Amino acid sequence: MFESLSENLQATFKELRGQGRLTEDNIKDALRQVRRALLEADVALDVVRDFIDRVKERALGEQVRTSLTPGQEFISIVREELITELGGASQGLELRAQPPAVILMAGLQGSGKTTSTGKLARYLLEQKKRVLVVSCDVYRPAAIDQLKTVAEAVSADFHPSSPLQSPAQIADAALAVARKELYDVLIVDTAGRQTVDEKMMQEIKGLHDFLKPAETLFVIDSMTGQDAAKTAAAFGDALALTGVVLTKVDGDARGGAALSVRKVTGKPIKFLGVGEKLEALEVFHPERLASRILGMGDVLSLIEEAEKKIDRQKAEKLAQKFKKGKGFDLEDYRDQLAQMVNMGGLGAMLDKLPGMSQIPAQVKNQINDKEITRAIAIINSMTLQERRFPDVIKASRKKRIAAGSGTQVPDVNRLLKQHMQMQKMMKRMRKGGMANMMRGMQGMMPPGGMPRR
């Protein structure tokens, strides 16, 4: 989401790093470029002004001008102020209330409330909470059925409702059931509109007054840019919001919503929706996002993602196999590719590594996750014998495998070559450690990443 902002800021910082010392003139020039980068990212004007003023006051101080690394000092100030702008510290859900703790989901139609309700239910179920979800949207066709489908997909309990009921009646019945059946959390999905209107606000205020929720989360689409600030202000005036869920962060939005909504509402961003899948919800960490914007990576999030999504049994099995000196067959290769897909794909992983934002655009374009899924399909089209003994795969077998996976024979040849190179790399690592492994990785892919078709 922040690719353009990140590139613009890093171009500015690159110029500063080359300066032997910082003067008032080149600091002002850098601030001008930072301001332009933020405005191009669709950050609200008032937010940009306040941010630049804070950075300017600190950057013109004695600490920066007398520093041995003034450029680095300036970048550090920008990072610290970005963290402040994004909320300072991560803030989780506050559910220390008499069960059931109620979470009220608010926002415009199309912001992703229903999907976010399902994602949040899944997150809480992983925290060993008993969760009940209910839809109070009696206006949008199939809204209730949509939430039912989402709830079933994440194994959350669903309280049925009907468009013939009023939102107040639905909320009353759901709360009674949640109390009687001892649920820990009740998540209430509310109706949205295309724009903020008085009827909508009165309805959700009524639900809020009745339910007295422990959390009132404002769900907003990160693609809305500066409009996010206006919508956030309207909801903030009408409701006692406790936090924000920012959706569609994986899209090509310019990032203005994330930097604007915290300032406008005065409430923390608590979660990021980072994909369409129901597991694609991340706890928001301001310091990690600030580092990613500035091209410093987010290794902690990558580690947490790996801990949650890597199959430990398969990883340990491969480690034992590797330790005993056994071969790295195509089944092992497929498992490693599948783990990569499970973590969001190669692109998502690389985004979290430090310095990756400095890779040229033409190289990034070669990192294509479709190549990974194509490789998995090719291996799945093989017999068990072929996966374990790739040497038996000759011309006729290649044609059959290509036909079964919807690919071409050159694709099969490419995969076999990559697997062979991976085997060599594993052998080098076993014999000579990490240095040999890194040498083995050279040439596995064309300069820049996955091969093009």
Question: Does residue 453 belong to any structural domain of this protein?
Answer: no
Is residue 190 marked as binding?
yes
Under the banding of pLDDT at 50, 70 and 90, the label for residue 187 is very high
The model carries a pTM of: 0.64
Is residue 249 marked as binding?
yes
Q: What are 416-427's pLDDT values in tens digits? A: 988 888 777 766
Q: Are residues 432 and 317 in the same domain?
A: yes
Following CA atoms 438, 441, 442, 448 in sequence, which dihedral angle do they give, to the nearest 10 degrees? -110
Is residue 114 marked as binding?
yes
Higher pLDDT, 164 or 28: 164
Is residue 107 marked as binding?
yes
Q: What is the 3-state secondary structure (H, E, C) of the chain?
A: CCHHHHHHHHHHHHHHHCCCCCCHHHHHHHHHHHHHHHHHCCCCHHHHHHHHHHHHHHHCCHHHHCCCCHHHHHHHHHHHHHHHHCCCCCCCCCCCCCCCEEEEEECCCCCCHHHHHHHHHHHHHHCCCCEEEEECCCCCCCHHHHHHHHHHHHCCEEECCCCCCCHHHHHHHHHHHHHHCCCCEEEEECCCCCCCCHHHHHHHHHHHHHHCCCEEEEEEEHHHCCHHHHHHHHHHHHCCCCEEEEECCCCCCCCHHHHHHHHHHCCCEEEEECCCCCCCEEECCHHHHHHHHCCCCCHHHHHHHHHHHCCHHHHHHHHHHHHCCCCCCHHHHHHHHHHHHHCCHHHHHHHCCCCHHHCCHHHHCCCCHHHHHHHHHHHHCCCHHHHHCHHHCCHHHHHHHHHHHCCCHHHHHHHHHHHHHHHHHHHHHHHHCHHHHHHHHCCCCCCCCCCCC
Q: Are residues 107 and 229 in the same domain?
A: yes
What's the rounded Cα separation, in Å, for the pair 148 and 134?
A: 8
- The number of distinct structural domains making up the chain is 3
Tokens standing for 11? 């171009």
Q: What are 254-308's pLDDT values in tens digits? A: 566 667 777 777 888 899 888 888 888 888 888 877 776 776 544 455 555 555 5
Q: Are residues 207 and 114 in the same domain?
A: yes
Under the banding of pLDDT at 50, 70 and 90, the label for residue 386 is very high
Question: Does residue 91 belong to any structural domain of this protein?
Answer: no
Is residue 109 marked as binding?
yes
Question: Does residue 452 belong to any structural domain of this protein?
Answer: no
What's the rounded Cα separation, in Å, for the pair 1 and 445?
A: 27
Q: Are residues 280 and 360 in the same domain?
A: no
Domain that holds residue 135: 101-296
Is residue 111 marked as binding?
yes
What's the rounded Cα separation, in Å, for the pair 188 and 385?
A: 52
CATH number of the domain to which 430 belongs: 1.10.260.30
Of 58, 85, 112, at which residue does a domain stop?
A: 85
Q: What is the pLDDT of residue 440?
A: 46
Q: What is the pLDDT of residue 192?
A: 83
* pLDDT at position 327 over 90: no
Is residue 110 marked as binding?
yes
Is residue 189 marked as binding?
yes
Question: Does residue 352 belong to any structural domain of this protein?
Answer: yes
CATH number of the domain to which 73 belongs: 1.20.120.140
Q: Are residues 289 and 388 in the same domain?
A: no
Q: Are residues 317 and 236 in the same domain?
A: no
Question: Does residue 449 belong to any structural domain of this protein?
Answer: no
What's the rounded Cα separation, in Å, for the pair 235 and 233?
A: 6
Q: What are 114-125's pLDDT values in tens digits? A: 999 999 999 999
Task: Return the minimum-mean-pLDDT range out of 23-27, 186-190, 276-280, 439-443.
Answer: 439-443
Question: Does residue 387 belong to any structural domain of this protein?
Answer: yes
Q: CA–CA distance from 390 to each of 8, 387, 396, 418, 421 (Å)?
A: 47, 6, 13, 12, 13
* pLDDT at position 70 over 70: no
Is residue 112 marked as binding?
yes
Is residue 192 marked as binding?
yes
Q: What integer is the mean pLDDT of 315-331? A: 66
Task: Return the minimum-mean-pLDDT range out of 88-92, 104-108, 123-127, 326-330.
Answer: 326-330
Higher pLDDT, 328 or 39: 39
Q: Are residues 17 and 143 in the same domain?
A: no
Q: Are residues 343 and 435 in the same domain?
A: yes
Of 296, 320, 340, at which residue does a domain stop?
A: 296
Higher pLDDT, 254 or 381: 381
Question: Does residue 252 belong to any structural domain of this protein?
Answer: yes
Of 55, 85, 115, at which residue does a domain stop?
A: 85
Exposed, middle or buried: residue 236 (CB in 10 Å: 0-12, 13-18, 19+)? middle
Q: Are residues 267 and 359 in the same domain?
A: no
Q: What is the pLDDT of residue 368?
A: 62
Question: Does residue 90 belong to any structural domain of this protein?
Answer: no
Q: Are residues 188 and 140 in the same domain?
A: yes
Q: Are residues 71 and 117 in the same domain?
A: no
Highest-pLDDT range among 51-65, 181-195, 430-444: 181-195
Q: Are residues 379 and 274 in the same domain?
A: no
Is residue 28 marked as binding?
no
Q: What is the pLDDT of residue 232?
A: 78
CATH number of the domain to which 168 belongs: 3.40.50.300
